Amino acid sequence: MVTSVLVTGGIGYVGSHVAVELIEKGFDVHLVDNFSNSSVQQLDGIRQIISPSKSVSFYEANIGDTEKIQKILREQNIKAVIHCAGDKSVAESVLMPLKYYDNNVGSSISLFKAMESCGVSILIFSSSATVYGIPKGIAISEQAQTAPVNPYGKTKLTIENILNDLCRSGSKWKTMNLRYFNPAGAHVSGLIGDRFDNHPSNLFPIICQVLTGKRENLSVYGNNYDTADGTGERDYIHICDLAKAHVEALQFLLQSHNSPIPGALNLGIGKSVSVLEVIRAFEDSCNLQIPYKIETQRPGDIGKYFADPRAAQKNLSWTPQKSLKDMCRDTWRWAQNSASTTVDEN
Ligand SMILES: NC(=O)c1ccc[n+]([C@@H]2O[C@H](COP(=O)([O-])OP(=O)(O)OC[C@H]3O[C@@H](n4cnc5c(N)ncnc54)[C@H](O)[C@@H]3O)[C@@H](O)[C@H]2O)c1
C-alpha cells in the first residue's frame, strides 16, 4: 500500500527537495506551507520536475492551526510527517526571540497535538547543527554536548526534547531528529532551490545575490582562523543528498518497532571546506568572478567544524554522493533560472 506523507514547510528549500525525492520513491506526498518564506514558483518547480503520471497536493495553512492540520491528516490518511516548517535565521532569532519560540516551538506543539489526536505518530524533524552551540571538538558526533547559543538553536533543541519525551511516554511515537550541517546546492533541473530574493544569511544564497547583481560583493568574515587558508570552514552537503537521507530515515522509522536510539542523526559529509574554496569552486562552475572583501571576524563565529556522519551512514545505509562542484553548478543553474522568473519582493 502507498504510504501518505505530509511535508510541512513543503515548498521551502529543504521541504521541496524532500518532496521530490519522496514522490520519486513512490510515496503519496502532501505539502503544507503558509508562504511565510516561500512562493508558488517553488510549487510549480516541484510539479515540473516530477513525472507527469505523478501528483502532489498542496495546502496553504499554518501548522499552528490545529484544526486545519487535523483535517488534512484525516482527509489524506497521513501515516507520517516530515516537519520542515519553521523560521531559520540565527540573526533574526536574536532580535526577535518570541517570533522564533512562537513559530518554531509553539506551532510544532500544535502540529504534534494534531498528529496525536489523529493517531499519526511517525515524524522526522528538521533540526540543525546549531544545537551543538560552540562545539568542543572539530568532528561533531551526536554524543557531543548540546548547548545552543542563540534562540534559533534553542528552539531546535526544545523541539528535539519534546519529541524525545513523546517517544519516552509509552505511546506509539517514532521520531527522528535530523541535524543538518550546511545544506547547499539545488535540484539539478534548476527549477527549485534556496530563495535569495529575501535577506539570506547562508553563503550560497549570498553568492547568488552577488552573481545576479543584487549585491555588490561578498563579505568574508575573518581570514586568520586556524584553517588552511584562514577563512572559516563548514561542512556543506548537497541538498539532494540531504533530501535522500529523509527518505531513508522515513523507511527506517516505518520499519522499526520502537523509536530509534539515538533519536538524532547528523547530516553532513564529514569534512569542511573554506569560504575561499567555495568562492573558487563557484568561479570555476560559472566562469564569473565573485568580488569579495575580507571583514573582521564576527563575535561568536567558529573557525571550523564538520559532522561526524557515521551514525547516519550506518543506520540509514546512506552516503552523500555529490561534490562541492555539483553544489556550485546546480546553485548557479537555479540562480539563473530564478533570477529570470522571480518578481523581486524587496
Ligand atoms: N537551510 C539550512 O541551512 C538549514 C540548516 C539547518 C536546519 N534547517 C531547518 O530546516 C527547516 C527547513 O529549512 P529551509 O532552509 O527549507 O527553510 P525555508 O524557509 O526555505 O523553508 C521553511 C518553510 O516553512 C514555511 N513555514 C514557516 N513557518 C510555517 C508555519 N507556521 N506554517 C506553515 N509553514 C511555515 C515557510 O514558508 C517555508 O516555506 C527549518 O526548520 C530550518 O530551521 C535549515
Determine if ligand 1 sits within 6 Å of the CB of residue 15: yes
Among candidate residues 118, 254, 103, the one with its CA nearest the CA of residue 176: 254
Residue 114 near residue 69, CB atoms below 8 Å: yes
Determine if ligand 1 sits within 6 Å of the CB of residue 128: yes
Confidence bin at 106 (pLDDT 50/70/90): very high
Residue 329 lies in a domain: no
What is the pLDDT at residue 298? Answer: 87
DSSP H/E element including 259: none
Q: Give the position, in ligand 1's atom list, of the atom nearest the Cα of 61.
A: 33
| C-alpha of residue 92 to centroid of ligand 1, in Å | 14
> Whose alpha carbon is nearest atom 34 of ligand 1?
33
Domain count, the chain: 1
| C-alpha of residue 115 to centroid of ligand 1, in Å | 19
| C-alpha of residue 88 to centroid of ligand 1, in Å | 6
Compute the C-alpha angle 18/284/304, nearest 5°.
Answer: 65
pLDDT (mean) for 250-259: 89
| C-alpha of residue 287 to centroid of ligand 1, in Å | 31
Determine if ligand 1 sits within 6 Å of the CB of residue 196: no
Sign of CA dihedral 37, 196, 199, 279: positive
| C-alpha of residue 242 to centroid of ligand 1, in Å | 14
Q: Which residues are catalytic?
A: 152
Determine if ligand 1 sits within 6 Å of the CB of residue 285: no
Residue 242 lies in a domain: yes
What is the pLDDT at residue 262? Answer: 61
| C-alpha of residue 86 to centroid of ligand 1, in Å | 4
Determine if ligand 1 sits within 6 Å of the CB of residue 185: no
> Whose alpha carbon is nearest atom 6 of ligand 1?
128
Determine if ligand 1 sits within 6 Å of the CB of residue 66: no
> Whose alpha carbon is nearest atom 15 of ligand 1?
13
pLDDT (mean) for 209-219: 95
Domain that holds residue 252: 4-187+236-270+309-322
What is the pLDDT at residue 181? Answer: 98
Among candidate residues 273, 278, 179, the one with its CA nearest the CA of residue 235: 273
Question: Which comes out higher in pLDDT, residue 137 or 31?
Answer: 31
3-state SS assignment for residue 26: coil
* DSSP type of residue 2: P
> Whose alpha carbon is nearest atom 1 of ligand 1?
183
Q: What is the pLDDT of residues 162-181, one digit of tens each?
A: 999 999 997 799 999 999 99
Q: Give the position, in ligand 1's atom list, of the atom nearest the Cα of 194.
A: 20
Q: Give the position, in ligand 1's atom list, of the atom nearest the Cα of 127.
A: 7
Tell me the three cell numbers of residue 249. 530515515
Q: What is the pLDDT of residues 21-31, one digit of tens each?
A: 999 999 999 99
CA distance 24 to 49: 10
CA distance 52 to 64: 32
Instruction: Give me the percent of the chain exceeding a pLDDT of 70.
Output: 97
Mean pLDDT of the chain: 94
What is the pLDDT at residue 345? Answer: 40
Angstrom CA distances, 212 to 73, 289, 334, stand at 40, 12, 11
What is the pLDDT at residue 261? Answer: 61
Q: What is the pLDDT of residues 280-329, one digit of tens each?
A: 999 999 999 999 999 999 887 889 999 999 999 999 999 999 999 999 99
| C-alpha of residue 85 to centroid of ligand 1, in Å | 4
Determine if ligand 1 sits within 6 Å of the CB of residue 11: yes
Residue 324 corresponds to which amino acid?
A: L
* DSSP type of residue 9: T
The pLDDT of residue 145 is above 70: yes
Residue 89 lies in a domain: yes
Residue 114 lies in a domain: yes
pLDDT (mean) for 50-79: 97
DSSP code per residue over 13-68: HHHHHHHHHHHHTT-EEEEEE-STT--HHHHHHHHHHS-TT---EEEE--TT-HHH
Instruction: Give me the percent of the chain exceeding a pLDDT of 90.
Output: 90
Determine if ligand 1 sits within 6 Å of the CB of residue 309: no
Residue 196 near residue 209, CB atoms below 8 Å: yes
CA distance 15 to 10: 4
CA distance 160 to 128: 10
> Which CATH number is 73's domain given?
3.40.50.720
DSSP code per residue over 97-159: HHHHIIIIIIHHHHHHHHHHHHT--EEEEEEEGGGG-S-SSSEE-TTSPP---SHHHHHHHHH
To 10 degrees, the CA torsion angle through 112, 116, 118, 121? 90
Say if strands 174-180 and 264-267 run parallel, antiparallel, or are unpaired: parallel
pLDDT (mean) for 187-209: 94
The pLDDT of residue 92 is above 80: yes
CA distance 73 to 17: 21
Residue 98 lies in a domain: yes
Determine if ligand 1 sits within 6 Å of the CB of residue 64: yes
Residue 179 lies in a domain: yes
Q: What is the pLDDT of residues 318-333, one digit of tens each?
A: 999 999 999 999 999 9
Confidence bin at 341 (pLDDT 50/70/90): low
Residue 221 lies in a domain: no
CA distance 27 to 20: 10
Among candidate residues 184, 153, 165, the one with its CA nearest the CA of residue 263: 165
